[in-house]
Amino acid sequence: MEDGVQNMENAKYYWYEGEKIYLEEIPEKEYVVFKKKDLQELSSLKSRSSSPLFKGEFQELKLTGIVLSDKAATEKDNIMWGITERNLKSAITGEIPAIIYKSPFYKSSLGEEIGISHLFYVKLKSEKDKDKLIELAIKNNVEIIGNNEFMPLWYTLSCDNESAGDALQLANEFYESSLFEFAEPDIIGNFAVNTNDTYFTKQWNLKGSNSINWVSAYALTQGANVKVAIIDTGIELLHPDLTNVMPAYDLVQGWWYATNIYNQHGTACAGIIGATANNNKGIAGIAPKVAIESYAHNFETQPNAGQQLASGIALASRSADVISCSWGGPTSSMITDAIRYDAGWGRNGKGTVVVFATGNDSRNRVSFPANCHSSVIAVGAIGQNGRRSSFSNYGTELDIVAPGEYIPTTDLLYGYGYDTSDYTMNFDGTSAACPHVAAVAALILSVNKNLTAQEVKDIIEKTAKKVDSYSYTTVSGRPNGTWNGEVGYGLVDAYNAVLEARRRL
């Protein structure tokens, strides 16, 4: 978006971490909300129209992660939503008066295509400010749906056609009132995953010149007594090489101990971290004796996804030492706040180690949430040749790189995953690089549980191997050695990281 558009007095925007993110309306797409009782009539209209829905069928609204008010709990199963082509708008609003909300899609100044749902989020400065929230909600005719189950100062509010504005306008009004710490609209964006053992000879990522120097680390520790939470698409619990996984929480359905698997991506990430080693089958995980907790999400374009993922991050920090996140998406103050909380309060005040993939857009810009907070370890990818992978995002917030091409790992059983066997030899992306670093963080903590999250990050950065073909310089704000914009501090080195952690005992 050009500066001229941004500076227009009527330019649309939302607030993220004290900065305006400007928006340009997209004429083709629209988000609509309606009552479930009108589904049949609306579906009939859709079938008669030459303009089909962009995304599947109309869907029920999932308000998971929220302690619902009595009214919201009663009505939650009666609300549906859809994403339509914009030229369906007049037909919908003309023939179905029960449409209770509509809003356009936008292109943000960050280059992302996003929608704005009928929801927006407000974080109180303290619980005593709830009366201020109620007063402003009544003034603007919006409903307080409830507060977040795991971050109780965050409240969800809902607009309809009778409200004083749409969710974008009202989120800005609440934030600009200075009464609250944060307020932002619910962004509908593409939260997406960044994609003597039988196959050990193929695991170039663990041994060799551009590997993570794992073999020597394995002789020192296998990651016992450490928990790693994987927030992803669910994990194949019956896989014979994944004997250390427990289901924790389904972030979409709001179910504890759920075994849902939305696709194969999470299983591939889990294998890199914790596949059983030396069992005469499959692959070797980097930290084969860790306990893995699975937090599952479908990563579909839908309302409330940002809150669901933020809930996962906040919830995981209650039990996990390390959180591995091979995904990214649009900005969310609630996700950033959850990460900020983990850094300060996880592990009884030592901080939970949070690891994110930098993204696969080939951009000189690390994607969100990897770029959102200094505590995050932002991981890019390299290939077997030691060069930055062409898809791997890089830039100012990049901390470290790890292998991210042709990585052997576990797959869904019975041919339902990437390949026809129970393993794949070709897991690619910063999605593959991220769990390498999460696993090394687990190895570090297994030999020294007293380290803070910041100290774990420092060790990973200070002990990184300087991969060839890149020049490294001293950079302000980068205290752990020389750094390069394409590969960060260099390639994660499991063995030397473990040695440094032991030295600090």
Q: What is the pLDDT of residues 418-452, one digit of tens each?
A: 998 999 999 999 999 999 999 999 999 999 999 99
Q: What local confidence, expressed as pLDDT, does residue 251 receive? A: 97
pLDDT at residue 78 tops 90 = no
List the catalytic residue out of 186, 232, 250, 399.
232
Q: What domains sit in the chain, N to C, each tagged with a CATH number?
A: 3-188 (no CATH), 192-503 (3.40.50.200)
Among 57-66, 277-286, 336-345, 494-503, the range scoring the smallest mean pLDDT is: 57-66
Q: What local confidence, expressed as pLDDT, does residue 14 receive? A: 97
Q: What local confidence, expressed as pLDDT, does residue 6 receive? A: 44
pLDDT at residue 309 tops 50 = yes
37, 96 contact by CB (below 8 A) = no
pLDDT at residue 465 tops 90 = yes
> Six-digit token pair at 470?
């890149």
Tell the burial category of 35 from Cβ atoms under 10 Å away from its Cβ (0-12, 13-18, 19+): middle
Q: What local confidence, expressed as pLDDT, does residue 83 receive? A: 87
Q: What local confidence, expressed as pLDDT, does residue 99 receive? A: 81
Among 70-84, 143-157, 427-441, the range scoring the smallest mean pLDDT is: 70-84
Amino acid at 88: L
Per-residue pLDDT band for 41 (boundaries 50, 70, 90) equals: low
Q: What local confidence, expressed as pLDDT, does residue 458 receive? A: 99
Q: What local confidence, expressed as pLDDT, does residue 96 receive? A: 52
Among 35-39, 276-280, 285-289, 404-408, the range scoring the smallest mean pLDDT is: 35-39
Distance between CA 116 and CA 89 in Å, rounded? 16
Amino acid at 299: F
Strand partners, 29: 85
Per-residue pLDDT band for 75 (boundaries 50, 70, 90) equals: confident
pLDDT at residue 53 tops 90 = no
pLDDT at residue 52 tops 60 = no
- What is the DSSP-derived secondary structure letter of residue 327? E
Q: What local confidence, expressed as pLDDT, does residue 262 receive? A: 96
Distance between CA 95 and CA 97 in Å, rounded? 6
Per-residue pLDDT band for 200 (boundaries 50, 70, 90) equals: confident
pLDDT tens for 468-486 read 889 999 999 999 999 999 9
pLDDT mean over 286-314: 97
Per-residue pLDDT band for 77 (boundaries 50, 70, 90) equals: confident
List the catalytic residue out of 158, 163, 197, 265.
265
Residue 436 bears catalytic tag: no
- CA-atom Rg of the chain in angstroms: 23
List the catalytic residue out of 211, 326, 333, 431.
431
Q: What local confidence, expressed as pLDDT, does residue 4 receive? A: 41
Q: Beta strand pairing status for 113-123 and 66-68?
A: unpaired
pLDDT at residue 173 tops 80 = yes
pLDDT at residue 3 tops 70 = no
Tell the burial category of 85 from Cβ atoms under 10 Å away from its Cβ (0-12, 13-18, 19+): middle
Separation in Å, CA 452 to CA 46, 474, 482, 496: 55, 25, 22, 18
- What is the DSSP-derived secondary structure letter of residue 388? B
Residue 297 bears catalytic tag: no
Q: What local confidence, expressed as pLDDT, does residue 45 receive? A: 58
pLDDT tens for 102-118 read 999 999 988 889 999 99
Mean pLDDT of the chain: 92
pLDDT tens for 84-142 read 876 544 444 444 556 899 999 999 988 889 999 999 999 999 999 999 999 999 999 99
Distance between CA 263 and CA 105 in Å, rounded? 27
Tell me if the pTM is above 0.75: yes
Distance between CA 460 and CA 433 in Å, rounded? 14
* CA dihedral of residues 389, 394, 397, 402 (deg, nearest 10): 10
Comparing 237 with 57, which gets the higher pLDDT?
237
Sequence-distant (6+) residues with CB within 8 A of 55 are 82, 83, 301
pLDDT at residue 411 tops 80 = yes
pLDDT at residue 8 tops 70 = no
Per-residue pLDDT band for 35 (boundaries 50, 70, 90) equals: confident
Per-residue pLDDT band for 174 (boundaries 50, 70, 90) equals: very high
Q: What local confidence, expressed as pLDDT, does residue 61 receive? A: 93
pLDDT at residue 404 tops 90 = yes
Distance between CA 114 and CA 111 in Å, rounded? 9
pLDDT tens for 233-281 read 999 999 999 999 999 999 999 999 989 999 999 999 999 999 999 999 8
Residue 431 bears catalytic tag: yes
pLDDT mean over 278-301: 96
Q: What local confidence, expressed as pLDDT, does residue 29 receive? A: 86
Q: What local confidence, expressed as pLDDT, does residue 162 receive? A: 95
pLDDT mean over 12-21: 95
